[in-house]
Amino acid sequence: MNAAHDAVAQLWPGLPATVEELGGGITNRNFKVQVGDEVFVLRMGGAKTDLLGIDRAVEYAAGKRAFEVGIGPEVTAFVPEEGWLVARFIEGRPITPTEMRSPSMLTRVAFAIRAFHDGPPIPGRFNAWAVVDAYRATAEAHAVEMPSEFRRARAIAERIRAARGVNPVVPCHNDLLNANFLDDGQIRIVDWEYAGMGDRFFDLANFSVNHEFGVDDDRQLLHAYFDQVNERDIASLRLMRFMSDFREAMWGVLQSGISELDFDFKGYAGKHFTRMQETASDPDFDVFLRTVGANEAESETR
């Protein structure tokens, strides 16, 4: 807390403030700060987060863009040399995973995600395959032994990349956990530290797998997002769920070697490797690969 009080003194010099730590984070520390009648969230970047591919300047730009398109809190300050980011506190309520499945809520959330995807470009790039490879290289440089599941998972990831081919990039959040959504009358999305220009289907799949959606749920999501559903989009989303878990698993592997927090990162990685294996073992997985591959080949001959 001393570091937070020192930061507050620098950010709001001479003003009385109350500081309360917000729980839930396993990368950064977040504090609710009240200064007079105004309430903010101070985000203090964790140690070695640059090794996770986090660029605080990109996070700042993405947060500002989210506010501009109406889906994020107002970002009021950024101190890059300290890794501090300040945004206005939102008096919103969490949205339960069960509620996310309701047609009305799913439509609101899909519109919010689409609003960011359709916005102007932001700095930074996000490619799930490149992230996985970078996490592996950095983990091995810190003497972390690769899990036995890695080799097979990387081969499956390459099959997905070959089947899907090259796809357009749009502004993406890339970390659509349930905890990153709030409802204050509008859908708000927070925590933009992994944002960058990327594949919209990674974002949609990331949202889907983090909410444990089935295929029918995904059809509803895509209908709300595109106003229609086709089999190639379903296949792309279901395949990219594998890539979402692969990124998450490798994030845990890397964190097990660099993080100073008391958290079971190996167990976290194991959970996601297990879910990936379940995804790849689904009888429909090869069908999805053929579906996106056939459509890709068809589009190349037009």
Q: Do 22 and 128 belong to one domain?
A: no
Adjacent-strand bridge partners of 187: 183
- Per-residue pLDDT tens over the stretch 74-116: 999 999 988 899 999 999 999 999 999 999 999 999 999 999 9
Structural domains counted in the chain: 2
Q: Please say if the pLDDT value at position 302 is more than 50.
A: no
* Rounded (5°) CA angle 76-100-176: 45
**Range 181-200 average pLDDT:** 97
pLDDT at 25 over 90: no
Q: How far apart are CA 9 and CA 3, in angstroms?
A: 10
Whether 70 is in a domain gets the answer yes
In the structure encoding, which two tokens stand for residue 125, read together?
Answer: 């790039």
Report the CATH number at residue 34: 3.30.200.20
What's the predicted TM-score (pTM) here? 0.93
Q: Which of 44, 71, 88 corresponds to the end of one domain?
A: 88
Indicate whether 150 and 195 sit together in one domain. yes
Domain closes at, from 88, 115, 143? 88
Q: How far apart are CA 175 and CA 267, in angstroms?
A: 19
Do 83 and 228 lie in a common domain? no
160 and 227 part of one domain = yes
Q: Are strands 75-79 and 170-172 parallel, antiparallel or unpaired?
A: unpaired
Claim to verify: residue 124 and residue 59 sit in the same structural domain: no
Measured between alpha carbons, how far is 159 from 155 in angstroms, rounded to an integer? Answer: 7
Quote the pLDDT of residue 24. Answer: 63
Note whether 160 and 280 are same-domain residues: yes
Residue 302 lies in a domain: no
Average pLDDT value over all residues in the chain: 93
- Check whether residue 121 and residue 83 sit in a common domain: no
pLDDT band at residue 196 using 50, 70 and 90 as cut-offs: very high
- pLDDT of 33 above 60: yes
In which band, very low, low, confident or very high, does the pLDDT at 296 lie, cut at 50, 70 and 90? low
Mean pLDDT of 125-140: 97
Same domain, 119 and 261: yes
**Total Cβ atoms within 10 A of residue 148:** 8
Domain match, 103 and 36 both: no
End-of-domain residue from the set 66, 88, 110: 88
State whether 67 and 29 are in the same domain. Answer: yes
Q: Choose the weakest-confidence range: 2-6, 245-249, 265-269.
A: 2-6
Residue type, 175: D
Question: Per residue, what are the HEC states of the chain?
Answer: CHHHHHHHHHHCCCCCEEEEEECCCCCCEEEEEEECCEEEEEEECCCCHHHHCCCHHHHHHHHHHHHHCCCCCCEEEEECCCCEEEEECCCCEECCHHHHCCHHHHHHHHHHHHHHHCCCCCCCECCHHHHHHHHHHHHHHCCCCCCCCHHHHHHHHHHHHHHHCCCCCEEECCCCCHHHEEECCCEEECCCCCCEEECHHHHHHHHHHHCCCCHHHHHHHHHHHHCCCCHHHHHHHHHHHHHHHHHHHHHHHHHHHHCCCCCCHHHHHHHHHHHHHHHHHCCHHHHHHHHHHHHHHHHHCC
Per the structure, the complete domain to which residue 280 belongs is given by 93-297
Instruction: Report how far apart, in Å, the C-alpha atoms of 218 and of each of 198, 221, 223, 237, 271 are.
Output: 20, 5, 8, 8, 22
Share of the chain above pLDDT 90, in %: 86
User: How does residue 23 score in pLDDT terms, banded at 50, 70 and 90?
Assistant: confident
